[in-house]
Amino acid sequence: MKRTMAVADIGGTHARFALAEVEGGSVASLGEAATFRTSDFEGLSSAWSEFGKVAGSPLPDALAIAFAGPIGSKALKLTNSQWVIEPGRLHKQLRVSDVTMVNDFGAIAHAVAQLGQDQFQHCCGPNMPLPESGPITVIGPGTGLGVAQLMRTAGDYQVIETEGGHIDFAPLDPLEDRLLAVLRQRFERVSVERIVSGSGLSNLYTALAAIEAKDAPLLENEAIWTAALDGSDPLAVAALERFFLSFGSVAGDLALAHGSKAVVIAGGLGYRLRQQMAASGFAERFVAKGRFREQMETIPVKLLDHPQPGLYGAAAAYAKEHQ
């Protein structure tokens, strides 16, 4: 029996909402998304009310939320926003009877588990389908760096939510040694998210300027991304090259740590950068693991090609929980 529900994907920059139908442990349909900037709202309740206006009809009493932060405490704070969500109060605040909450990249891992092979593009490594069994690493840069693990078994799967984006940055050449030294002056601890994320390019840009004793003419993160992609600022281009090198390194490290048979790159930023990634040092850094290079060369790396993986994954998580 199909059930209509609402789904939300709450990130540090955007809050997305949609209606979905689930049936038999799977997603039957996903409606058009309504996207709001989190900075335009005080919290989830006001954004939920706005979604109700956009939907134009009473919202369902079942809700699944993909949340950009660790799940499990009484008060959940977005990693890169001021929003705080108290799960125990959502039933009353939003007037819903049934709520499922999942980490944002946990939701994307649910999407990876349930979407068909046609939703994935080949990135690097052997061009083969995602395995039907075994571990898969799901990773993607956005406002932060999301990481989850998907474990497929015969006819079923489990999602392991992680905070893998907060592991330590490990420099691999003399320039990265110097980058780490500069970044340590700004951050008490330099995680990979400080580099492989939407704001990471700005961190790399200013650090490279300091190393080269140059002025950093661009100050806004969006302007740095634009200059890096159109080639108008050599320093921004160099920062993007380092971004991809570090991305390849951390994706490979996590694949080793997870014992993965495949890696899926997800999230809007990773997909938008797919052409630049293909021409970058990502693939070489991914396999450059010394004695484990041959093993790394057997791992396919895919790009998730779905417009709303967080919303789809939230619905999939709900469907699996209530199957």
14-23/26-30 β-pairing: antiparallel
216 is in an annotated binding site: no
Question: Is residue 8 marked as binding?
Answer: yes
Helix segments in the chain, DSSP class H: 44-55, 90-94, 104-114, 174-184, 200-211, 221-230, 234-258, 268-272, 274-278, 282-287, 293-296, 309-321
Does 35 carry a binding-site annotation? no
Task: Report in angstroms the alpha-carbon separations of 79 from 104, 146, 266.
Answer: 11, 11, 18
| 211 among annotated binding-site residues | no
- Ligand-binding site membership of 12 (annotated): yes
Tokens of 126: 């052997």
87 exposure class (CB count in 10 Å sphere: 0-12, 13-18, 19+): middle
Are 143 and 269 spatial neighbours (Cβ–Cβ below 8 Å)? Answer: no
* 153 among annotated binding-site residues: no
DSSP string for residues in 243-306: HHHHHHHHHHHHHHHHT-SEEEE-SHHHHHTHHHHHTSSHHHHHH--GGGHHHHTT--EEEE--
| Binding positions | 8-13
| Binding positions for ATP | 8-13
